[in-house]
Amino acid sequence: MTLDELGTPLRDATFVVVDLETTGGSHLDCAITEIGAVKVRGGEVLAEFQTLVNPHVSIPPFIQVLTGITDAMVASAPRIDQALPAFMEFCRGTVLVAHNAPFDLGFLRSGCERLGIEWPRVSSLDTALLARRVLTRDEAPNCKLSTLARVFGAGTTPDHRALHDARATVDVLHGLIARLGNLGVHSVEELRTFTSLVPESVRRKRGLADALPHAPGVYLFRDGQGRVLYVGKSRDLRSRVRTYFTASEGRRRMTEMVGIAERVDPVVCATDLEAEVRELRLIAEHRPRYNRRSKFPEKATWVKLTVEAFPRLSLVRRVLDDGAVYLGPFGTSRTAESVMTAVHEAIPLRQCSKRLSVRTPSSACVLAEMGRCGAPCLGHLEGESVEAYALHADAFRTLVRSDASAVVSALCSRVETLSSTQRFEDAAVARDRLTALVRSVARIQRIVSLTSVDELVAARPTATLGWELVLVRHGRLAGTSVVPRGAHPIPYVEALLATGETVLPGAGPLPAATAEEAHCVLRWLESDGVRLVRGSWASPAFGAQGLRAWLGLEAAHVDPFRDQRSLRPFDRPARAS
């Protein structure tokens, strides 16, 4: 789950309540004859919009009787290409509201498509749907606009004229909002997701969110015995937790979790990055029953080049301080096996699992007979010597640490050969293996470029013209702080260095943090506006990261540290001849 955006309080939201009259019920072959809308905010009417529209077709007699709009009335009215752009400008930056919204919004969307007008990214509400979920049958036998207008005492009687119906819908909307406010619905986001399908036993627990602050951080749902059930993060703890008790939760396990929860503990964080990292650490520590990701980072799989006279590739779970080269981590063994197969197709490393002796030759396997292995098992007289075989191991080390071009070139040639012989399925499999290999190599090179740095301090401007400070040691987030607007940052940097977590690095490419935490830090460091304050950081000049464009991946050029050095070498320097 990503960090949630702050909710928009209902009192601050601007709504445009719209109603249309049309020549029929389908937006595919019918046209708009009238648009009426009312713009409201905080219970007050700001403006109204009303216009007839010339549909350039005859209005059916039934529709003329129903709406009172005749062909003569619309003969001199604006065309849709004049009326619709004006209305879309009227509702810019607002929340669109309609009674039976799919009908009205369907006509508006269809009209925009025909005119080449981009449909704005606006929220929408359906008062009919809200009414079905708020009112009982005793209060309203149906959810027609005329019925709801009577229930809420609307000041305008709906009569199938657009502006009149829009005015009546405004009163219905305000009546529904008043009802929902008593149920803890106070933002546009909560209003859009509200449903009475939330069990009453869950809705009664909305008070658990009242003590939480409006601040970024991490929240922990706990049961009656204090056990952590679920860990999440948000930019606004109170607003996010409240949605668990008022919003429609499609995930059955989450509804079950909220029903069990007895309290919610907040962990307020200085920055979004701190919240993201703390969430990962708390999930790994408590392994909550209802979190599905990040609970078992130790179960990741690695491809290891063993340390012996004739090294081979092996799938392992643990990274040891044994001088071996590791590629990973992989979420599944299947992906790791696919990558290992790709390496074997390009580098003739032995694939047998037995330990070979330099002094005692043994028999060769079928791969040696096929020419896919140099048969070091036969000894240097018949097979490869230690020195010759070491070139293959060095090729793998070069692939993982610095330069993937030789292996990628060999695998590309294999894909082309398979394609040219019309072995298209085999070519597709080889291509997918190559893609997985390049992605994994690019990932480990990015991680190592960060984890190999002893200490790094970076800063990013905040929306309030201050600075976020981040301290990273061996890839682990060691501390964060915020410099207020106008304050000199150096004292804050010195304080962060003095109070930051002491990190003692361990073994392997992830000496102090999980891969997910390192990725979180990397995303933050590569975001717009970040500047290095202490330390240096660089990726391999000929690393696999530069092959992302070849793979068709998202590879937008980001150069946040222009004053020091580029982090992602998409513009590679020329290779020395």
Residue pointed to by tokens 């709009």: 69
C-alpha–C-alpha distance, residues 502 and 340, integer Å: 36
Give pairs for 106-113: CB < 8 Å, separation 24+: 106/27, 107/20, 107/22, 107/27, 107/30, 107/32, 108/18, 108/20, 108/84, 109/27, 110/27, 110/28, 111/27, 111/32, 111/80, 111/84, 112/84, 112/88
Complete edge-to-edge strand list for the sheet that includes strand 531-534: 476-483, 467-473, 456-461, 531-534
Tell me, what amino acid is at 533? V
**Helix (H, G, I), strand (E, B), or coil: what is residue 547?**
helix
C-alpha–C-alpha distance, residues 447 and 519, integer Å: 7
160 annotated active-site: yes
Residue pointed to by tokens 């010759």: 388
C-alpha–C-alpha distance, residues 11 and 395, integer Å: 64
Which of 160, 164, 286, 380 is catalytic? The answer is 160
Preceding peptide of 120 cis, ω within 30°: no
**Helix (H, G, I), strand (E, B), or coil: what is residue 52?**
strand
How far are the Cα atoms of 266, 424, 425 from residue 420, in angstroms, in the given order?
A: 60, 9, 12
Residue 188 Cα to chain centre, angstroms: 21
Phi, then psi, of 272 in degrees rounded to 5:
-65, -40
| Catalytic sites, residue numbers | 160
